[in-house]
RNA sequence: GGGUAGGUAGUCAAGUGGCCAACGACAACAGACUGUAAAUCUGUCCUCUUACGAGUUCGAAGGUUCGAAUCCUUCCCUGCCCA
């Protein structure tokens, strides 16, 4: 199975330019993907493009990761119905550094490899370029008609919010990236999410018109969730790759909570398992869906890929502590268990208040676990709050020192999956 | 600059003088059922509040009125058409 065939099987190809497969089988090819510095960390959505680069490198080609120092200053209109706010230069630089650091983890930059990975920043070639140079040497080759026909532009022109000249120009800026990499780094391939198809083709068009060269591209489908939700979001927000922003435990949980339909697709995209292995797993899963074989394999593979074996083990250990025997009394958790669990939000609370005896509602509101008393009351009435793994039946229920675990903790649950550890001091 | 259509809660979107904290949909959160799935059903969903109630909202500021998201004035913002 060659690279393209494999990616097709994995469901990672949406659009592909004719001749791409031939080019890849002909010679070692450099291929690039651009990463937006809109935040100082990448999130799980960026994993797909990262994996494309990894696959590319595995197949013996040279991956180039481009961070958009320049394009980030312009703002990509693709998929956006409104004009974007520009980032300050300071934020941008901060984000660039964060994104670069993460990308370095996933690709092999060892310079002794013939196909070692490379990282570039398009600010390096845009910094010196003057506006006049740009409109003479780049803008002259592409008609406004061509640019306006792109979906990302067309939608905005027809939509309600209009589009600034800056964002309109975006595709040319990104297109020029491809041209620059083509001429300076012999880079003949660009990949990206399918929302990038328009921008990418502007690049290949530019390469053809300016230099008569030939360049290739393919895109991967944008991920959606089976229930229509946004991929990469959980109840607690975005799932980031940075362990500081999303703990390995929560990261692991994200994948473990995948629906069956999603897990079947994602196992192919996010793991390196072969078709035979995947087929076997799917079969096992069908026999005993409750075992969630697919989800477990998936979450293990991805967590290990992103946070290493150690992060995975930690996440798994915490998962077991929390979910393995939900019915076990909270008292059975050791002090160490409570202290070391990382998927838990921590709060502290005054010992004197507990000594006097407080009602649950005040306790929840005063610790900050729940924003207000009213809300705490509503949750309790709906049966959504447990203290030390026992459901709170009555909002007036008092809390006192007899509720303390190990003399200093109270374990609060909101719903099934949200845990809070309150340290009484 | 001229004309015109608009700006309502996280999003979409009703509402055109009192019955409006504002229909509905989606998203979100919680419950039941489950497998820490899905689907379905239920509750919550401006803020605070011991289910009472109180406070602050409908681009902004003023005004008319017993009473305004709804009427008037000015301003700001956006789309479209014309210059």
> What are the helix (H) ranges across A190-274?
197-211, 248-256, 260-270
Distances (CA, A) of A252 to A51, A115, A274: 18, 32, 22
Q: What is the pLDDT of residue A72?
A: 81
Q: Which of A70-74, A92-96, A172-176, A386-390 has the highest mean pLDDT?
A: A172-176
CB of A253 nearer than 7 A to strand B: yes
**First CA to last CA across chain A, in angstroms?**
62
Give the side-chain half-sphere CA count within 13 A for A72: 27
Nucleotide nearest to A156 (CA to C1'): B79
CB A362, CB A374: distance < 8 Å: no
Percent of chain A with pLDDT over 90: 46
What is the pLDDT averaged over residues A177-203? 93
Query: How far is Cα A99 from Cα A42, in angstroms, rounded to an integer?
Result: 6
ipTM for the assembly: 0.81
Q: What is the pTM of this model?
A: 0.88
Q: What is the pLDDT of residue A274?
A: 94
Q: Which of A60-74, A178-192, A394-408 has the highest mean pLDDT?
A: A178-192
Q: Is residue A224 predicted with pLDDT exceeding 80?
A: no
Q: What is the pLDDT of residue A167?
A: 81
- In this predicted model, what pLDDT tens digit does every residue of A144-161 receive, in sequence order? 889 888 877 877 776 656
Q: What is the pLDDT of residue A199?
A: 92
Average pLDDT of chain A to the nearest whole number: 88
Q: Is residue A20 predicted with pLDDT exceeding 70?
A: yes
- Beta bridge pairs of residue A237: A234
Q: Is residue A85 predicted with pLDDT exceeding 70?
A: no
* Window from A140-149, A168-177, A269-278, A321-330 with minimum mean pLDDT: A321-330
The CA–C1' separation of A203 and B1, in angstroms, is 40
Q: Exposed e or buried b for every residue in A200-216, given b needs 16+ CB within 10 A?
A: bbbbbbbbeebeeeebb
Strand B footprint nucleotides (protein C-beta < 7 Å): 26-32, 34-39, 43-44, 47-50, 78-80
């Amino acid at each position: 199975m060659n690279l393209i065939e494999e990616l097709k099987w994995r469901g990672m190809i949406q659009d592909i330019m004719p001749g791409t497969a031939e080019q890849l089988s002909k010679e070692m090819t450099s291929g690039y993907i651009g990463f937006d510095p809109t935040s100082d960390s990448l999130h799980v959505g960026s994993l797909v493009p990262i994996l494309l680069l990894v696959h590319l490198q595995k197949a013996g080609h040279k991956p180039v990761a481009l961070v958009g120092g320049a394009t980030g200053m312009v703002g990509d209109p693709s998929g956006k119905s409104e004009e974007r706010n520009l980032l300050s230069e300071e934020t941008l630089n901060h984000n660039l550094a964060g994104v670069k650091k993460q990308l370095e983890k996933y690709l092999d930059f060892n310079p002794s490899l013939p196909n070692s990975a490379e990282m570039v920043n398009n600010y390096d070639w845009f910094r010196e370029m003057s506006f006049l140079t740009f409109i003479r040497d780049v803008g002259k080759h592409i008609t406004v008609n061509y640019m306006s026909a792109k979906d990302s532009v067309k939608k905005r022109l027809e939509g309600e919010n209009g589009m600034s000249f800056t964002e309109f120009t975006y595709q040319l800026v990104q297109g020029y990236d491809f041209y620059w990499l083509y001429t300076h780094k012999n880079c003949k391939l660009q990949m990206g999410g399918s929302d990038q198809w328009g921008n990418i083709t502007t690049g290949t068009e530019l390469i053809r018109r300016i230099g008569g060269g030939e360049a290739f591209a393919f895109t991967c489908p944008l991920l959606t969730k089976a229930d229509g939700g946004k991929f990469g979001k959980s109840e607690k927000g975005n799932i980031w790759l940075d362990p500081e922003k999303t703990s390995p435990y929560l990261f692991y949980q994200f994948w473990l909570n995948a629906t069956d339909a999603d897990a079947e697709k994602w196992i192919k995209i996010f793991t390196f398992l072969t078709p035979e292995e995947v087929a076997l797993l799917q079969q096992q899963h069908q026999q005993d869906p409750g075992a969630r074989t697919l989800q477990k394999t998936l979450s293990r593979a991805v967590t290990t890929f992103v946070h290493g074996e150690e992060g995975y083990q930690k996440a798994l250990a915490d998962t077991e502590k929390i979910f393995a025997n939900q019915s076990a009394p909270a008292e059975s958790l050791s002090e160490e268990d409570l202290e070391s669990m990382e998927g838990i939000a921590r709060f502290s609370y005054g010992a004197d208040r507990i000594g006097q005896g407080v009602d649950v509602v005040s306790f929840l509101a005063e610790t900050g676990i729940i924003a207000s008393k009213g809300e705490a009351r509503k949750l309790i009435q709906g049966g959504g709050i447990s203290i030390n793994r026992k459901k709170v039946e009555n909002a007036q229920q008092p809390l006192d020192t007899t509720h303390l675990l190990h003399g200093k903790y109270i374990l609060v649950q909101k719903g099934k999956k949200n845990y809070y550890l309150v340290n009484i001091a």
